[in-house]
Amino acid sequence: MGPPSSSGFYVSRAVALLLAALAVALLLALLVLAALYGHRPRARPAEPCGCGGPDAAPSPAPGAGEPAPTPKSRPAPEPAAKTPSRDWRSPGPWDRLRLPPWLEPLHYDLELWPRLRPDALPARRLRFTGRANVTVRCVAATARLLLHSLSLHHELPAVRGPLSPGARDAAAGRVPVDDVWFAEDTQYMVLELGEALRPGGLYELQLSFEGPVLDEAREGLFLNVYTDQGERRALIASHMEPTFARSVFPCFDEPALKATFNITVIHHPSYVALSNMPQLGQSERTDVNGSKWMVTTFYTTPHMPTYLVALAICDCDQVNRTERGKEIRVWARKDAIANGNADFALNITGPIFSFLEDLFNISYPLPKTDIIALPVFDHHAMENWGLLMFDESLLLLQPSDRLTNKKALIAYIISHEIGHQWFGNLVTMNWWNNIWLNEGFASYFEFGVINYFNPKLPRNEIFFSNFLHGVLSEDHALVSRAVSVKVENFTETSEINELFDLYTYNKGASMARMLSSFLNEHLFISALKSYLEAFSYSNAEQDDLWKHFQMAIDDQSKILLPATVKSIMDSWTHQGGFPVITLNVSSGVMKQEPFYLGNIENKTLLTHNGTWIVPILWMKNGTTQSLVWLNKSSKVFPEMQVSDSDNDWVILNLNMTGYYRVNYDKLGWKKLNQQLEKDPKAIPVIHRLQLIDDAFSLSKNNYIEIETALDLTKYLAEEDEIIVWHDVLANLVTRDLVSDVNNYDIYPLLKKYLLKRLKPIWNIYATTIRENVTALQDDYLALISLEKLFASACGFDLEDCLQLSRELFRKWMNNPENEIPNPIKNVILCYGIALGSDKEWDFLLNVYTNTTEEGERIRLVYAMSCSKDPWILNRYMDYAIAGSPFPFNETNVIEDVAASEVGRYIAKDFLVNNWQAVSKRYGTQSLVSLIYIIGRSISTDLQIMELQQFFSNMLEEHQWISVHAKLQTIKNENLKNKKRSARIAEWLRKNI
């Protein structure tokens, strides 16, 4: 304190005494009020609890009958700081996304009671009540407790303790709760205590609450209303990942805060209740209205995070089998069980469990597995320990799925979720920033499991199609996020949900595959076994995984690495994007650079300056060579040199196991092109696919000339692998090349060039479709590639394709049992309408009216937009905006019509007189989308001006600002594509 000031003012003695008396009186009044108010704990006024409800069982008052609280202990300074008013709080732990490390949850006694009754459907605005007694260990003295709670109404909580270890201490004292408030942004419930908890002490939080059962979103506790055996029914299920457990019960909702759970579910007696563990017992409870309810309790779970807590209340049937003494049950609608739709899933589940148990030498720790098919589940599938949940479309196999990739899809998804029983459930990432440790490895083993059971499958081509192609098309160095994200980068809970993306799943799986490729499968599995054993029932960081791989490397001498496993893999997981590896075969110089969209010229402005430690597996003249490493920006490899005079050729990235694209100098590409024209089969299928995919991506982004990519297609008349053709057609038969009327010069050239080479593979599959279509059912690559082949052939007016479309459509019209093969059904429906009249169109409308399955209705709605008759399309759009008698709620019909070249002009004219009705039917944003669709080929400012004038009265002035900017982007992109198209056309003229 500084010296006293000499300045001041004068107060008389009488006034001073009067002021002193008033001050004392005011202070006494404040003390009395504080004493009265402070001894009455209070929940947040804005969240009153209606937990009692008309049919709720009475709850004992928290702390009733308990002894007086123990004397106050001295709190730790920071946690025990007094809380300001919740309306004006100073910064504190409630502002941070991560929970403070003051408490460690050990066990939850959790009871949930949703009020679902079969005689009260549809059960909208359904609610549930619940209780959670949470045993915690105090790590640091604190008089403030933070735990997660979202959209729950709470009764007054109680805190008991300290408890005696290992015993339910009925005589434990009560810790006063002075205040309860909520930090909405960070989703915390904050308890202000009258005394601090003691470090090392055990305490029990007693919490009663109420919340909504959601019927729109499939998160937390949610409702499915559906039809089964001709009756309307409902079920309740849960989805807690990543942060939805807090909307079901107050909890410590972070993956590292594992605990055990005793779960009790109260439900109507006509339903069955399922949870993570087997049923322990059942009893009956009567509510205040005299209604009977069933109380189902379950055995104690292993230590697990809150996001794996699961329950379902349903009126389903099940099929079951036993695998290694443990029961597996698949639950679904009674109709589906009776029809055998769940049998395939049941029969593959046990063997997949056994394979992974043997692979890791770690038994599945739970005594049972339930799998439930939900009528609607937005998250597709969830790996909850002991109670796996699937959208029924991804679990149940229908007879109509015979000629689809559905069987393979179900097998892949089940394998993925079972893989999580080890990667995620047994060993969990420490926090969500490393969710790829769960999803990436589950994705990798999904692929490995299926290849084990189907060794004839083309594993490399399937991995490319399912994982690699999609993420390489999206990933680039400028804005893509890293696989492993720094925790400090997260500021909001919503950002956690955004992690469930291509980078976590596809790139994560690619990281695992690359790691396996430069080690070997034995070493890879050995390291994973060690990792899983060390962190069972616990949590791990990415560095923990690298440590166990390093231990495996250090225990042998055969495989030598240029750096530690951590250094190698961190270079891939801690930075976004991937490198382009360029080999100059004349000099043997190899270099790496980040892949940028458009290969931005002024790279000095970019911040990406990292390099990757790149494993280079390669082949020369078809023979696999020794692994080399590119661990700096460039390096010389003399063994990779070839000369113009010899017949040697080199391909980098063996089997595409590395996560990068490969470029060559002109001689390198020339040698590969010569080999393709001489003997394409000398280059393995995966590398013919790689050459096409890398070359077109690199040319599109200005790393190589488009002519270099086109040269690789000359041999295609000899290409009989449909997956390679799929990639060629995906790159060449694009809307901007063949559908834009402004590109009238390129269409006949491309048509002549491709049809000349396409006919051999077309004949193979057209014959199969006509004569032995069932042969396709086990050809996974054909099932996913045929649609593009048929669409291209028909799009180029190949007469046999058009004739086959007419045949198949008319046979189906005449007899619905003559089903159109599913892989080409979209194409056949579209061309059946395009080549037909109103007779075919009206037939399809009638099929739509009598179809209930949403996916099929979407397919039919799109097909009806393929008509080339203006009056039919105008009638169709009239039907759509009227909304009756045909609802067409599955998609925006106007957008579907505008997407075709004929429909674009018809939809544009239709909008002139109907834009208000379109806006009312589909929303104002649909008008914006239509502007972009209709204006997709603009290439001049005049065209933009004309479009704005045309739509001028349809949008507000402020909307035009963003629309104009978007149209400018479309224009610039089209101008760039126009230059590319001109070069393609010139090349085609020389090579037809």
Phi-psi region of 967 (alpha: psi -120 to 50; beta: other; left: phi over 0): alpha
Q: List, for residues 747-795, the tens digit of each pLDDT value.
A: 999 999 999 999 999 999 999 999 999 999 889 999 999 999 999 999 9
pLDDT of residue 607: 55
Pairwise CA distance, residues 370 & 317, whole Å: 12
Mean pLDDT of 670-688: 97
Q: Is the pLDDT of residue 39 over 80?
A: no
- CA nearest to 278, candidates 401, 344, 403, 367: 367
pLDDT of residue 813: 97
pLDDT band at 610 (very low <50, low <70, confident <90, very high): confident
Mean pLDDT of 720-729: 97
Q: What is the crossing angle of helices 542-554 and 521-534, to 10°?
A: 130
Q: What share of the chain is helix, strand, coil (3-state, %, to 5)?
A: 45, 20, 35
Pairwise CA distance, residues 93 & 694, whole Å: 49
- CA nearest to 989, candidates 670, 738, 708, 752: 752
| Range list of β-strands (E), 822-943 | none
Pairing mode of beta strands 311-314, 387-391: unpaired
Query: What token pair was written down for 566?
Result: 């951590």
3-state secondary structure 19-35: HHHHHHHHHHHHHHHHH
Mean pLDDT of 202-223: 95
Q: Is the pLDDT of residue 137 over 60?
A: yes
Pairwise CA distance, residues 780 & 761, whole Å: 16
Out of 42-51, 341-350, 598-607, which region has the weakest mean confidence (pLDDT)? 42-51
Pairwise CA distance, residues 396 & 317, whole Å: 13
pLDDT of residue 716: 98
Q: Is the pLDDT of residue 122 over 90?
A: no
Write down how long the chain is: 992
Question: Residue 640: helix, strand or coil by DSSP?
Answer: helix
pLDDT band at 370 (very low <50, low <70, confident <90, very high): very high
Q: Is the pLDDT of residue 46 over 50?
A: no
Query: What token pair was written down for 153?
Result: 């109404």
The phi, psi pair for 438, rounded to 5°, reads: -80, -60
What distance, in Å, lies between the first and last C-alpha atoms of the chain? 93
Peptide bond into 41 cis (omega under 30): no
Q: Is the pLDDT of residue 640 over 80?
A: yes
Percent of all residues in the chain with a pLDDT value above 70, rounded to a whole number:
89
Q: How many beta carbons lie within 10 A of that of residue 948, not counting itself?
A: 16
Query: In what side-by-side order are the strands of the sheet with 177-183?
Result: 142-148, 188-197, 177-183
Query: 145: part of which helix (H) or strand (E)?
Result: strand 142-148
Pairwise CA distance, residues 863 & 827, whole Å: 8
Q: Is the pLDDT of residue 70 over 60?
A: no
Q: Is the pLDDT of residue 241 over 50?
A: yes
- CA nearest to 369, candidates 257, 277, 462, 454: 277
pLDDT of residue 597: 85
pLDDT band at 742 (very low <50, low <70, confident <90, very high): low
**CA-CA-CA-CA torsion for 807, 808, 812, 818, nearest 10 degrees?**
120
pLDDT of residue 646: 82
pLDDT of residue 40: 37
Q: Is the pLDDT of residue 608 over 70?
A: no
Query: What token pair was written down for 988?
Result: 């085609």
pLDDT of residue 478: 80
- CA nearest to 157, candidates 136, 178, 137: 178
- Which amino acid is residue 427, in one-letter code? V
Pairwise CA distance, residues 830 & 836, whole Å: 10
Catalytic residue among 417, 593, 840, 895: 417
Query: 240: part of which helix (H) or strand (E)?
Result: none
The residue assigned the tokens 């229908």 is: 398
Pairwise CA distance, residues 593 & 580, whole Å: 5
Pairwise CA distance, residues 777 & 390, whole Å: 24
- CA nearest to 940, candidates 906, 978, 905, 911: 978
37 is catalytic: no
The phi, psi pair for 402, rounded to 5°, reads: -55, -45
Pairwise CA distance, residues 741 & 728, whole Å: 22
Out of 353-357, 416-420, 609-613, 735-739, which region has the weakest mean confidence (pLDDT)? 735-739
Out of 68-72, 292-296, 544-548, which region has the weakest mean confidence (pLDDT)? 68-72
Alpha helix positions (H), 581-684: 666-678
- CA nearest to 678, candidates 698, 648, 709: 648
pLDDT of residue 603: 55
Pairwise CA distance, residues 851 & 103, whole Å: 55
pLDDT of residue 714: 98
Handedness of CA 863, 864, 865, 866 (dihedral sign): positive
- CA nearest to 450, candidates 422, 392, 396, 410: 410
pLDDT of residue 562: 97
The residue assigned the tokens 């790393």 is: 703
| Range list of β-strands (E), 613-768 | 614-616, 618-620, 623-624, 628-630, 634-636, 650-652, 661-664
Pairwise CA distance, residues 96 & 99, whole Å: 7
The residue assigned the tokens 């709470």 is: 154
- Concatenating the DSSP letter of every residue in 66-126 gives PPPPPPPPPPPTTTTPPPPPTTSPPS-GGGSSSPPTTEEEEEEEEEEEE---TTS-S-TT-
CA-based Rg of the chain, rounded to a whole angstrom? Answer: 33
Q: Is the pLDDT of residue 30 over 70?
A: no
- CA nearest to 703, candidates 649, 664, 672: 664
pLDDT band at 25 (very low <50, low <70, confident <90, very high): very low
Q: Which residues contact 651 (CB under 8 A, 6 or more apart)?
A: 618, 619, 662, 672, 683, 687, 690, 691
Catalytic residue among 505, 703, 780, 876: 505
Q: Is the pLDDT of residue 665 over 80?
A: yes
Q: List, for residues 126-136, the tens digit of each pLDDT value.
A: 999 999 999 99
- CA nearest to 100, candidates 134, 149, 161, 148: 148
pLDDT band at 741 (very low <50, low <70, confident <90, very high): low
Question: Residue 9: helix, strand or coil by DSSP?
Answer: coil
Query: 794: part of which helix (H) or strand (E)?
Result: helix 780-795
Q: Which residues contact 339 (CB under 8 A, 6 or more apart)?
A: none
Q: List, for residues 470-505, the tens digit of each pLDDT value.
A: 999 999 988 789 999 999 999 999 999 999 999 999
pLDDT of residue 518: 97
Q: Is the pLDDT of residue 48 over 60?
A: no
User: How distant is the alpha carbon of residue 596 from its chain centre?
Assistant: 25
973 is catalytic: no
Query: In what side-by-side order are the strands of the sheet with 661-664?
Result: 634-636, 589-594, 579-584, 661-664
Pairwise CA distance, residues 687 & 620, whole Å: 12
pLDDT band at 822 (very low <50, low <70, confident <90, very high): very high
Pairwise CA distance, residues 447 & 441, whole Å: 10
Q: What does pLDDT average to over the chain?
A: 89
pLDDT greater at residue 282 or residue 40: 282
Q: Which residues contact 658 (CB under 8 A, 6 or more apart)?
A: 514, 517, 614, 615, 616, 617
Q: Which residues contact 956 (CB under 8 A, 6 or more apart)?
A: none
Mean pLDDT of 204-224: 95
pLDDT of residue 81: 34
Q: Which residues contact 221 (CB under 8 A, 6 or more apart)?
A: 112, 114, 128, 211, 212, 213, 214, 236, 237, 238, 247, 248
Residue 23: exposure state from Cβ atoms within 10 A (0-12, 13-18, ≥19): exposed
Residue pair 219/244 in contact by the 8 Å Cβ criterion: yes
The phi, psi pair for 437, rounded to 5°, reads: -65, -30
pLDDT of residue 736: 76
Output DSSP code: residue 742: G
In our burial notation (b when 16+ CB lie closer than 10 A, e otherwise), range 56-71 reads: beeeeebbeeeeeeee
pLDDT of residue 745: 85
Residue 817: exposure state from Cβ atoms within 10 A (0-12, 13-18, ≥19): exposed
